[in-house]
């Protein structure tokens, strides 16, 4: 079974797997070693490793990063590829082909231009349709996840998000995703609106829901985005402040070197 086919098989509505978002080779290998069934990149978390804010990573940097993660682990890897670094259908198709060449099992694409706002629905659907056609033309299976980000960014409401993910599914998306739709009931409404698998983001208020609770809403996939990476930044801040402001070192609750080596070796 190809990685793409294995990745597709994980998407079971009502029985979600967790797409563990890594930010470097070490985190990817640790997460896979702990039993992660699939690894995702995170555009924000990757940017943090480069000392940049989210949205400041180039297409080639993101592709090289994702390829390195895919080569480092045996499980499927999916790329968080923002808007595909282009505002046309051709750019969406192109990023699918490049992602497949990089060894990825799938990608997610947003409906948000680089300058902010959102694409009008017709262009967003055109991009998804072109990306889906490119994915189907590949020699191996590839999972395309289409995102409707406007609720999270404040650009549109849940009704528009549902209209969009329905259109994305009809255009050929294998999975759809409305980051932070609001309440658990809102997430359930997204799942009920489409026949394809739905991704939910474990962040913000949705972090309070368990896997079992998200499963009951009909979710097929749970991603972490940059949350796990930012959890490490919280540890750095807490331990760093204890050291620099109070001269205390006990806040560094470290993992043994040999324990880390078990995952990296």
In the chain, the domains with their CATH numbers are 3-226 (3.20.20.60)
The residue to which tokens 């797409």 are assigned: 19
Separation CA 146–CA 177 (nearest Å): 6
CB 152 within 8 A of CB 179: yes
pLDDT of residue 265: 82
Dump pLDDT digits (tens) for 43-59.
999 999 999 999 899 99
Model confidence at 12: pLDDT above 90: yes
Dump pLDDT digits (tens) for 59-112.
999 999 999 999 999 999 999 999 999 999 999 999 999 999 999 999 999 999
| Cβ partners under 8 Å of residue 248, min gap 6 | 242
pTM: 0.95
Q: Which of the 8 DSSP states describes residue 191?
A: H
Instruction: Specify burial of residue 86 (Cβ count, 10 A radius: 0-12, 13-18, 19+).
Output: middle
Dump pLDDT digits (tens) for 189-212.
999 999 999 999 999 989 999 999
pLDDT of residue 253: 87
């Amino acid at each position: 079974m190809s990685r793409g086919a294995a990745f597709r098989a994980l998407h079971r509505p009502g029985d979600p797997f967790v797409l563990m978002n890594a930010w470097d080779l070490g985190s990817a290998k640790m997460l896979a070693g702990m039993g992660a069934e699939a690894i995702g990149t995170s555009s924000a978390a990757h940017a943090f490793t480069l000392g940049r804010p989210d949205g400041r990573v180039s297409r080639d940097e993101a592709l090289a990063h994702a390829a390195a993660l895919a080569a480092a682990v045996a499980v499927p890897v999916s790329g968080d590829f923002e808007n595909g670094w282009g505002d046309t259908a051709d750019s969406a198709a192109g990023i699918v082909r490049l992602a497949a060449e990089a060894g990825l099992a799938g990608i997610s694409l947003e409906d948000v231009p680089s300058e902010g706002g959102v694409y009008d629905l017709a262009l967003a659907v055109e991009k998804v349709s072109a990306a889906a056609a490119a994915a189907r033309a590949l020699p191996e299976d590839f999972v395309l996840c289409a995102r409707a980000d406007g609720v999270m960014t404040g650009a549109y409401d849940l009704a528009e998000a549902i209209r969009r993910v329905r259109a994305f599914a009809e255009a050929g998306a294998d999975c759809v995703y409305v980051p932070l739709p609001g309440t658990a009931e809102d997430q359930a409404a997204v799942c009920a609106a489409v026949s394809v698998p739905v991704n939910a983001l474990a962040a913000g208020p949705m972090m309070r829901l368990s896997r079992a609770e998200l499963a009951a809403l009909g979710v097929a996939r749970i991603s972490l985005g940059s949350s796990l990476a930012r959890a490490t930044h919280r540890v750095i801040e807490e331990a760093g402040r204890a050291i620099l402001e109070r001269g205390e070192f006990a806040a560094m609750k470290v993992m043994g070197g040999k324990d880390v080596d078990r995952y990296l070796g």
